[in-house]
Amino acid sequence: MSSSVYYRFRSQLEPSRVTFDGTGITVFEMKREIILANELGDGTQFELKLYNADTNQELDDDTTIIPRSSSVIAVRGPPVRPKHGTAVRYVSGSMKFFQKYSSKQNVETQPSASASSLPQLAAGTNEEDRINAMFSAQQEQWSQTQQHMAQSRPVYAPNQKYARPVPDGPPPEKYVCFRCGQKGHWIQACPLLNNPDLEGKVIRRTVGIPKSFLKTVEKPADDDNSKTVMLTETGEYVVAVPDKASWESYQEKVKASSASRIVPSDPSLICPLTGLLFEKPVKTPCCGTTYSLDAIEQALLDSDFVCPNCHKTEILLDQLTPDEETEKKVIEYKNNMGKNEPEDTSKTADSAGKKRPAETDNKQSKSQKTIKQESAPLPALPATNPFLMQHTMYLQAMAQQHENMQKQKKAEK
């Protein structure tokens, strides 16, 4: 006897039909017939769901029997994981032989134990007999429950957290309770286990902090100190102390860096190459001009050992001699810098750095043009602006140096 079940997709108006032998077809076979009839592929790119056309309830159990002459709605959706659609098992797999668990079906099929166990009492029974009958019915029901529990198997839920029993024996010597931070007991037997005030409060560990940066303190008595106190692996309370040695070393480097970027008020202490205060001043063997050691060495290397002042060749690095007189002036100036110079020297150094002359012969022509433009008579500046005063003195020194260089060139010619 040929039977049929009607189905349609949500985007279709007219239903289609699946024919079979018998009075019903399973959800598994129905999905397979729909996939094969519509040539939907191997099922790896989608998921197929069936819904009852009357109640709009999903038929999620593959073993459910769909009666003949029924109507269902087929819905095709994207897979949860790409190329891992569940519809592939309807094409190449086999149907499961067990039904999906349903609590509603079990509740409906089980008879009421309390109703069946109550004895039939006569109409003229007194109240004491009714109470005794109720207790006896409860005892009988509990006996049936115990018998059922003895024959059933425990259900393991992997996501359920079970309370661990307290281990036997005392804890190890270095064991520390993570809840209260004390020794001598297991965490399962912590005296503060049921204290609601400690929920969510965790004592921090000293992981990754060197022991030299930790200082042992007493146990904090209030909550404010507990935020900064940490617990070591031995159960001691400590606090982090600052690294004074590293901080002092950093301060010295900052002071040395700021001192090296000072533009002094005395033009004789300004390096012609850097425009800043001399650092290890040395003299050239040719013209005796004083430069900073690092600046003149770099300039000689870049210009193939040509003096940046007199342009004499073959000026080697080992021919540079220290300028002791200028070195004494620089040391004296640094000692008196806090009294005579402004405190904010970073802005002065940055502005002076933008006006530095070139260090090589390739850029010397540009620097000469700049010096000629800036060597014009400068207007009088107010004495209350130390930055403008220093900048003016720097320009005057550079103009004077340029004039000296021009005179030396004329004398050589």
Of 204, 192, 202, nearest to 238 (Cα)?
204
- Tell me the C-alpha distance between 282 and 270, whole Å: 13
What was the pLDDT predicted at 74?
A: 92
Q: What is the CATH number of domain 253-412?
A: 3.30.40.10
Given the structure tokens 């205060």, which residue do they identify?
277
How many Cβ atoms are within 10 Å of 86's Cβ, its own excluded? 17
What was the pLDDT predicted at 179?
A: 72
Burial (CB count within 10 angstroms: exposed 0-12, middle 13-18, buried 19+), residue 39: exposed
> Strand pairing partners for 214?
240
* 3-state DSSP of 311-358: CCECCCHHHCEECHHHHHHHHHHHHCHHHHCCCCCHHHHHHHHHCCCC
- Tell me the C-alpha distance between 299 and 302, whole Å: 5
One-letter amino acid of 102: S
Kindly give the parts of the chain with pLDDT less than 70: 1, 93-124, 152-163, 196-203, 220-227, 256-261, 337-394, 413
- Count CA within 13 A, CB hemisphere, residue 91: 19
Type and span of the H or E element at 48 = strand 47-52
Burial (CB count within 10 angstroms: exposed 0-12, middle 13-18, buried 19+), residue 394: buried
- Count CA within 13 A, CB hemisphere, residue 132: 6
Domain range 2-96, its CATH number among 3.40.250.10, 3.10.20.90, 3.40.50.12280, 1.10.287.610 = 3.10.20.90
One-letter amino acid of 83: K
**Domain boundary assignment for the chain:** 2-96, 187-240, 253-412
Instruction: Enumerate residues 6+ apart whose C-beta is below 8 A from 298.
Output: 359
The sheet that has 290-292: what strands, in order across it? 290-292, 281-283, 321-322
Q: What is the pLDDT of residues 170-218, one digit of tens each?
A: 888 878 777 777 778 888 888 777 776 665 566 677 777 887 788 888 7
What was the pLDDT predicted at 71?
A: 92
Bridging pattern class, strands 230-231 and 204-205 = parallel
Per-residue tokens: 410: 């004329």
How many Cβ atoms are within 10 Å of 90's Cβ, its own excluded? 24
Q: Give CA separation, 410 vs 8, 62, 289, 312, in Å.
A: 105, 107, 18, 15
**Per-residue exposure over 230-259, b if at least 16 CB sit within 10 Å of its own CB, e if not:** bbeeeeebbeeeeeeeeeeeeeeeeeeeeb
What was the pLDDT predicted at 173?
A: 81
What was the pLDDT predicted at 390?
A: 57
How many Cβ atoms are within 10 Å of 267's Cβ, its own excluded? 14
